[in-house]
A and B are shown apart, each in its own frame.
Chain A
Amino acid sequence: MFGRDRSLTSLLNDTFIRGILFQALIAIGLLLSINWLADNTLSNLANQGKTLGFDFLTRTAGFQISPTLGTWMLDYKVGKSTYTDVYLIGIINTFIVALLGILAATVIGFTVGIMRLSDNLVFRWFSSFYVEVVRNVPLLLQLFFWYFAVLRAMPSKREKLELVEGVAGLNITGLYLPAPIVSDGFVYSFLSLIGAVAITFLVRRYALKRQAETGQILPMFWIGLGIIIILPVLVHYLNGSPLDWSLPEFKDTGPKLRQGYQSGAGMVLVPEMLAVWLALSLYTAAFIAEIVRAGILAVSRGQTEAAYALGVRPNITLRLVVIPQALRVIIPPLTSQYLNLTKNSSLAVAIAYPELVSVFAGTALNQVGKEVEMIFMMMMVYLTFSLMTAAFMNWFNSRVKLVER
């Protein structure tokens, strides 16, 4: 690759040797730089009286963390839980807000994307307006909007905004929802749900077989829906409904300081989490909408025309011809957006939602001071997410590649 100016044999030798020489130089240069950086780091740390080591992970953490899924799962207690717990709580909270965000963003994104292609002008305008505004304002600003402008405007701690009478309410301290209390028999209800899904799969196989043999088509969608809804509900009630709900309790009498939503009853979603979830979902949904639109547009009109010309109805055309081709184009950038959403959850550090960055690089780092180790641990988590996503995308792309010459 370095140019030709000699006979073939010496050329080959030269290119080979040059290549090796060049790469050796790069490797040596890199090793030297790393060595220099490491040297500097160690001496700087020594001057500050610090050492490298991960033993801080077993030390107890002395700070409070907002009630979230992570603290609930690991039963976090100040003075008892260690920094390892803090790390895990951060990961769990990142994961939960990312998962919820991905679900919401996908639903909203697909809806808005399809709206952008609609015949209806109002739908088109609205979705274009939404996409353009949301995409061109920084996510951090949108996060502040939801947190400061919207959620802070909620009623104060001693009041509430009822969403559903006695069941769900909202105030400045969060969204209060009923908490499920499962008793023994619930496991059967859950199993019957799984069973219903399995039965639906079996029915579908039977239906496909029947179609292959006789040509008749069963309305699988309605049948499947029916099975999945009716069976578990039936089992649940026959079993005595072993699922109780702890409703959120609101007191508006008695000493002023004790009024408001009582702890211990119901479940609370803190406003930090709500703000992060809303901001992440709506922001990512705008990008997903564009991806979905591009994917659908990528399927040429001729495909639908050919299917219609054969007499295939629009819904079947969509299912068998358009969507498979559109998904091929949609899924790779879609997984990228999912990854971006997960990374963007780190912005929660600005409003103190206790996800990984805010709890580990924020509070914990101030207490422990081991920057190199802690930042390394944080980055490892995100890198793992990224690599898993990249692996999935590669696998997906190789699976669905259109066969060509």
Chain B
Amino acid sequence: MAQPQNTAEQSVDQKTIVSMRNVNKWFGQFHVLRDINLSVDKGERIVVCGPSGSGKSTLIRCLNRLEKHQDGDIFVHGIELNNDVKNIDEIRREVGMVFQHFNLFPHLSILENCMLAPIWVRKTPRAEAEEIAMHFLTRVKIPEQASKYPGQLSGGQQQRVAIARALCMQPQLMLFDEPTSALDPEMIKEVLDTMVELADDGMTMICVTHEMGFARRVADRVIFMDEGQIVEQNEPEAFFNNPQSDRTKLFLSQILGH
């Protein structure tokens, strides 16, 4: 996973999907992200963990400009993330996000939820958009719910729809913000299984989660954040079996203890 040390110009279809350098962010006086340096390659699966308030969600939300960073550079898929609206639009097209509380549009059917972005952002004709939507709904294993409304689905089903909705834009990178934290225990598995399949198919993903089993199974790298900084990162085996920092050890003991 070592990166060649060069600053030469690279072509657009490079291997690096995300590059964050010396990124700092403040909420008012509170320094929420401190000196973040991160690089993610195509096809990599990253899991970000850490205690609450450590800035993990803020980190990934900066990647699609749901949060603004005040210092440092962020490049997504070769495009610089700054105040330029065109850049932001381009980046959001290539990055999909799944939220903790699903955020499905309750007044639209499942199918319409999935078709909205392709039609209005990629200007896809309706029939094609429907095909794409059904394809991904089948992929998350709920094609039969297409004409139902979000309020009629269980939490696990809703989250899977949210994943399908994001996939309909065929993004290069998927961001997951604690996707299973709001689910009842019996529904966590179905969502995690979907994510595992996605990972096995080669999707680049950055996942903020507490599900360590998932991390072990799928992650190429596990990143531990605390108080706004990246404290430790490593391959899952090394991370879980041989944590180096004291803070990592403390966190792991708390989360794996019970």
Contact = CB atoms under 8 A, between A and B. Distances in A.
Touching chains A and B, CB distance < 8 Å? yes
Contact of B97 (A216, A303, A309): A309
Contacts of B128: 215
Chain B interface extent, by class: 35 or more
Interface in B76-133: 89, 92-93, 95-97, 99, 101, 103-107, 116-117, 119-129
A405 interface: yes
A311 B99 contact: no
Interface in A369-405: 400, 402-405
A18 interface: no
A397 to B, nearest CB: 14
B101 A308 contact: no
B149 A402 contact: yes
A138 interface: no
B73 to A, nearest CB: 21
B123 A310 contact: no
A310 B107 contact: no
A311 B166 CA distance: 10
A contacts with B: majority SS: helix
Given A309-B64, A311-B89, A321-B105, A215 B122 contact: yes
B126 A211 contact: yes
B181 interface: no
Contacts of A324: 107
A212 B126 contact: yes
Chain A interface extent, by class: 20 to 34
Contacts of B151: 402-405
A325 B169 contact: no
B66 A309 contact: yes
A217 B169 CA distance: 18
B117 A312 contact: yes
B165 interface: yes
A310 B106 CA distance: 16
Contacts of B65: 308
Interface string B131-173: 0000000000000000011011000000000100110010000
A312 B165 CA distance: 13
A305 interface: yes
A213 interface: yes
B120 A312 contact: yes
A325 B99 contact: no
Contacts of A320: 116, 120
B103 A303 contact: yes
A183 to B, nearest CB: 48
B152 A311 contact: no
B121 A310 contact: yes
Contacts of B107: 324-325, 328, 400, 402
B64 A213 contact: no
A303 B66 CA distance: 12
Contact of B101 (A211, A216, A302, A311): A302
Contacts of B103: 300, 302-303, 305-306
B152 to A, nearest CB: 5
Contacts of B169: 310-311
A310 B97 CA distance: 8
A313 interface: yes
A311 B117 CA distance: 7
B165 A310 contact: yes
Contacts of A302: 99, 101, 103
A230 interface: no
Nearest to A310: B117
A212 B120 contact: no
A212 B65 CA distance: 30
A310 B120 CA distance: 10
28 contacts: A212-B127, A215-B119, A215-B123, A217-B120, A300-B103, A302-B99, A302-B103, A305-B99, A306-B104, A307-B105, A308-B64, A308-B92, A310-B92, A310-B121, A310-B165, A310-B169, A311-B89, A311-B92, A311-B117, A311-B169, A312-B120, A321-B105, A402-B107, A403-B151, A403-B152, A404-B149, A404-B152, A405-B152
The 10 closest A-B pairs by CB, nearest first: A404-B151, A212-B126, A306-B103, A310-B117, A215-B123, A403-B149, A302-B103, A309-B97, A311-B92, A311-B93
Given A215-B125, A310-B116, 10 more contacts: A214-B125, A217-B120, A306-B162, A307-B105, A308-B66, A309-B96, A312-B120, A404-B149, A404-B151, A405-B151
Interface of B: 64-66, 89, 92-93, 95-97, 99, 101, 103-107, 116-117, 119-129, 148-149, 151-152, 162, 165-166, 169
